[in-house]
Amino acid sequence: MRIAVNTRLLLPGKLEGIGWFAFETLKRITKGNPQHEFIFLFDRPWSDDFVFSDNVTPLEVKPPARHPLLWYTWLEYSLPGVLKQCGAELFLSPDGYISLSSGVPSVAVIHDINFMHRPDFHPFLTRKYYRRYFPRFASAAKRIVTVSDYSRSDIIRTFGVPPGKVDVVYNGAGQDFYPLNGEDKGKVRDEVAGGKDYFLFVGSFHRRKNITGLLRAYDLFRERNRHNIRLVLAGERMYGYPEMQRTISRMAHSNDVLFTGYKDPSQLRQIYGAALGLVYIPLFEGFGIPLIEAMNCDTPVIASNNTSIPEVTGDAAHLVDPESAGSVAEAMEKLATDMNYRNMLVERGRERRKLFSWERTAKLLWESVEKTMQEI
């Protein structure tokens, strides 16, 4: 079968959550199914690093689709002709965007629908596009994949799609993430935090990720005790985020907040491995890959008690109210002072992480594709 794939988010040096999902699953699926042909559809010149095997044909489809008006143009004007020309029999979209006018049966991976509940997380045109078209994508797709039971229930309830149409495929974490030894931890702390212990956040700086809440909680944690523990944030800003800068300007301990910028997996593994703990407290989350990456690195986790996160962490994290700075600060104090508690979370994380791997993710995604093949 000829399977066309939306690979817009396979961007060299810029892979984040959905991009990693696409990279890790497509790499395994294409290599593991040489009997099928895959046409990877990029919206700009591609990197050969993403042409995983001989049965992959890359194509550039213009225009570069990085804006709601261009998303529409790319999907409804550019793609239909390309899909017809290349004889695509199935369209797989790891980011959930599908062409409504192509007539090609589609599998849409819709990771979460936060924009339906918190449109304020997104710029005006972006949220208008999401709220107008994702219900249509969900209705038109032959099959939907999502990354947690929470998101599955949310999609079924909000979009009114049949339950049998939606499959759950958990995310994983890469083999690059594994524990550091003690000597390496000291070297990383020297490089990243001037030799100090630090709490860590990993992800994009987005309102949904609640960076301002994290900063307020960290300042409160520092005010309540004399620990000289720093806060390290690894990632890049998304959509602009003026509230974050305003919050930093009002902090008493802003000099101890450190930004690393984007880091590749090998660098992130070191930063995770030397951290006192990951503090990951989004207001809405479909899965949360950093949770599993931290567990793979034997790093204890503080996480939100909302949406999908308790489903992902089980009992292997200290869950907090992400909108309560006091709750988060208390959790940071607990990790900072109670080594036995940290060790307990690490042990639980070692068990929990066994449930998540990119091999399993790719296997289940391919099973969803095969179900679709049987239905068309």
Q: Which helix (H) or strand (E) holds 58?
A: strand 56-60
Q: Do 147 and 196 fall within a single domain?
A: no
At residue 91, the 3 state secondary structure works out as: strand
Q: Strand pairing partners for 58?
A: 40
Give the pair of three-digit tokens for residue 284: 């809405």
* CA geometry: angle 106, 111, 112, nearest 5 deg: 120
Q: Do 37 and 138 fall within a single domain?
A: yes
Q: Do 305 and 266 fall within a single domain?
A: yes
Q: What is the pLDDT of residue 302?
A: 98
C-alpha torsion sign, points 301, 306, 309, 315 = positive
Respond yes or no on whether the N-terminal peptide bond of residue 63 is cis (omega within 30° of 0). yes
Q: What count of other Cβ atoms lies within 10 Å of the Cβ of residue 86?
A: 15
- 24: in domain: yes
Q: What is the pLDDT of residue 240?
A: 64
Q: State how far the Cα of 263 lies from the Cα of 134, in Å rounded to an integer.
A: 31
Q: Do 298 and 333 fall within a single domain?
A: yes
Q: Do 345 and 371 fall within a single domain?
A: no
Q: Assign residue 203 the CATH number of its domain.
A: 3.40.50.2000
In order of 43, 107, 348, the CA distances from 304 in angstroms are 35, 30, 17
At position 162, the amino acid (one-letter code) is: P
Q: What are the φ and ψ backbone dihedral angles of 252, each rounded to 5 degrees?
A: -75, -25
Q: Do 239 and 330 fall within a single domain?
A: yes
Tell me how many domains the chain contains: 2
Nearest C-alpha neighbor of 281 from the set 197, 189, 222, 215: 215
Q: Do 162 and 222 fall within a single domain?
A: no
- 292: in domain: yes
- 177: in domain: no
- 275: in domain: yes
Q: What count of other Cβ atoms lies within 10 Å of the Cβ of residue 356?
A: 20
Q: What is the pLDDT of residue 66?
A: 86
- How many helices (H) does the chain have, and how many strands (E)? 15, 13
pTM: 0.94
Q: Which domain holds residue 123?
A: 2-172+358-375
- 320: in domain: yes
Q: Do 90 and 191 fall within a single domain?
A: no
Q: Do 206 and 153 fall within a single domain?
A: no
Q: Do 160 and 222 fall within a single domain?
A: no
Q: Do 269 and 337 fall within a single domain?
A: yes
Q: Do 301 and 234 fall within a single domain?
A: yes
Q: What is the pLDDT of residue 290?
A: 97
Q: What is the pLDDT of residue 238?
A: 60
- 208: in domain: yes
Q: State how far the Cα of 370 lies from the Cα of 376, in Å rounded to an integer.
A: 10
**Full pLDDT tens readout for the chain, 376 residues:** 999 999 999 999 888 889 999 999 999 999 999 999 999 999 999 999 999 999 999 999 999 998 999 999 999 999 999 999 999 999 999 999 999 999 999 999 999 999 999 999 999 999 999 999 999 999 999 999 999 999 999 999 999 999 999 999 999 998 889 999 888 999 999 999 999 999 999 998 989 999 999 999 999 999 998 889 999 999 887 666 788 889 999 999 999 999 999 898 999 999 999 999 999 999 999 999 999 999 999 999 999 999 999 999 999 999 999 999 999 999 999 999 999 999 999 999 999 999 999 999 999 999 999 999 999 8
Q: Strand pairing partners for 41?
A: 6, 59
Give the pair of three-digit tokens for residue 244: 């974050």
C-alpha 214 chain-centroid distance: 18
Is 259 in contact with 233 (CB distance < 8 Å)? yes
Q: State how far the Cα of 305 lies from the Cα of 351, in Å rounded to an integer.
A: 20
190: Cβ contacts below 8 Å, ≥ 6 apart: none
